Structure 1
Amino acid sequence: MTVFTDAMTVATSGMKAQATRLRHVSENIANTETPGYRRKTVSFDEVLRGTSGAVAVGPMRLDQSPLTSIYDPSNPLADATGRYDGSNVNMLLEIADAREANRSYEANLKMFDQIRQMKQGLLDLLRN
C-alpha cells in the first residue's frame, strides 16, 4: 500500500502548492491599486520522498520589474513632479496564473480521487 500512499502524498503536495500560489495571486489582485506594491511570486521545489517526488513551495519572491509611474499631483504620495509609484501587478498575467493554478489543483484532486478509488478497489478484491 505504500505505492498508493506515496502517490497520494504527491497529489496532496501538489494541491497544497497550488493553493499557496492561488493565495498569492489573490493578494496580488487585491493590491493592484496599492501604491508601491510589488507582485508576489512563488516557485516550486521537488522534494524526494522514497521513489516519488512531491512538490514543496519555495520562498516567496517579490517581482523586481519596475513599478508603474502615475501622474496625479493631487495625491499625497506625489513628488515634486506630480508622480508616484503604483504597483507592478498586471491583471492579465494574474488572471492567467489563477486559471493555471486552479486547473493544476483540479488535476491533482482528480489524481488523488483516482488513487483512492484504486485503493478501495484493491481492498474490495482482497476481502473476497
Structure 2
Amino acid sequence: MSDFSNALKVTTTGLQAQAARLRLLSENIANVDTPGYRRKTMPFEAMPTAADVTGVRAGDVALDRTDLEVVHDPAHPLADETGTYLGSNVDLIIEIADAREAQRSYEANLKMFDQTRQMSTSLMDLLRR
C-alpha cells in the first residue's frame, strides 16, 4: 500500500505547485496595465516526500528584471515632461500560454491522483473477496 500513498503524495505536491503557479500567473495578468509592475516568476524545486520518492514544490517568487515598457501618453498622470511613463513588463500572450500549461499540468496531476485512488479502491475490493 505504500506505493499508492507515495503516488498520492507526489501528485499532491504537483497539484499544490501548479495551484501556486496559477495564482502567480493570475496576479501577473491582473497587473498587465499597472505602471511599474514587474512580472513575477516562480521556479519549481525538488522536494523529498518519502524515503525514495521526490515531489515538487513552488520555489521563491522572483521579479523579472527585463526592462519596463516605455509608454507614450502625455495625458497620463504619471507621465513625465516628455509624455512618457514606465508601464509593466508583463506580456499577456506569454502569461495566458503559461496559465494554460499550468492548468493542463494541474489537470494531469488531478487525473493521476484519481487513477491512483481508483486503483487502491479496486485492490481493496479484490482483497476482500
TM-score, reference length from structure 2: 0.96
Q: Which residue of 2 aligns with 1:66?
A: 67
Q: How does 1:1-128 map to 2 (within 5 A)?
A: 1-49=1-49, 50-128=51-129
Task: Read off the aligned partner of 1:123 and give its amino acid letter.
Answer: M
Deviations 1:19-65 (A, max 9, x none): 11011111111111100001111110011222111111100111111
Deviation at 1:81, TM superposition (A): 1.5
Residue type of the alignment partner of 1:33: D
* Separation (CA, whole Å) in 2 of partners of 1:120 and 1:75: 61
Q: How far apart, CA to CA, are the structure 1 residues paired with 2:46 and 2:100?
A: 22
More moved, 109-118 vs 73-82? 73-82
Structural RMSD (CA) = 0.8
How far residue 82 of structure 1 moved from its aligned partner, in angstroms, is 1.3
Question: Matched residues in 1 for 2:10 and 2:89: separation?
Answer: 33
TM-fit CA distance, 1:72 = 1.2
Q: TM-score, normalised by structure 1?
A: 0.96
How many percent of aligned residue pairs carry the same amino acid? Answer: 57
Size of the aligned set, in residue pairs, is: 128
| Aligned structure 1 segments of 4 or more residues deviating by more than 2 angstroms | none
Ranges in structure 1 where 5+ consecutive residues have no aligned partner? none
